[in-house]
């Protein structure tokens, strides 16, 4: 059985993933002092690396989202059943009070 994933855990994972992309490194400090060509190459390399990290974790993210929506759908079905039961009770009460 798979462990359920709460909304808090999903948000925590996404926040930490986003935060890990923005850690300052030595290159961030010396970047303004580098030649313009190297800065452009660094930006492109950094963008490709971040895209790769996002794509490599997309399977985990999609599993979390799927689990979240399955739980939401299950709870929605429960609520609809309860609403139908209450409607039936209300109808029976109206019918019995009118006679």
Residue 42 contacts residue 34 (beta carbons within 8 Å): yes
Beta strands in the chain (DSSP E): none
pLDDT (mean) for 23-40: 70
Record the pTM. 0.37
Hey, where are the domains in the chain?
A: 7-73
pLDDT (mean) for 9-13: 63
CA distance linking residue 8 with residue 31, whole number of Å: 36
CA distance linking residue 61 with residue 2, whole number of Å: 15
pLDDT of residue 98: 65
Q: Which two tokens stand for residue 26?
A: 């030595």
Q: Write out pLDDT tens, residues 55-95.
A: 888 888 888 889 989 888 888 888 999 998 988 888 877 77
């Amino acid at each position: 059985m798979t462990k359920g994933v709460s909304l808090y855990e999903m948000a925590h994972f996404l926040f930490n993933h986003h935060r890990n992309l923005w850690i300052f490194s030595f290159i961030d400090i010396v970047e303004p002092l580098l030649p313009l060509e190297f800065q452009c190459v660094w930006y492109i390399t950094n963008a490709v690396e971040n895209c790769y990290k996002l794509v490599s974790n997309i399977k985990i993210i999609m599993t979390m989202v799927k689990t979240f929506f399955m739980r939401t759908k299950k709870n929605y079905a429960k609520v609809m059943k309860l609403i139908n039961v209450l409607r039936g009770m209300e109808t029976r009460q109206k019918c019995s009070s009118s006679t």
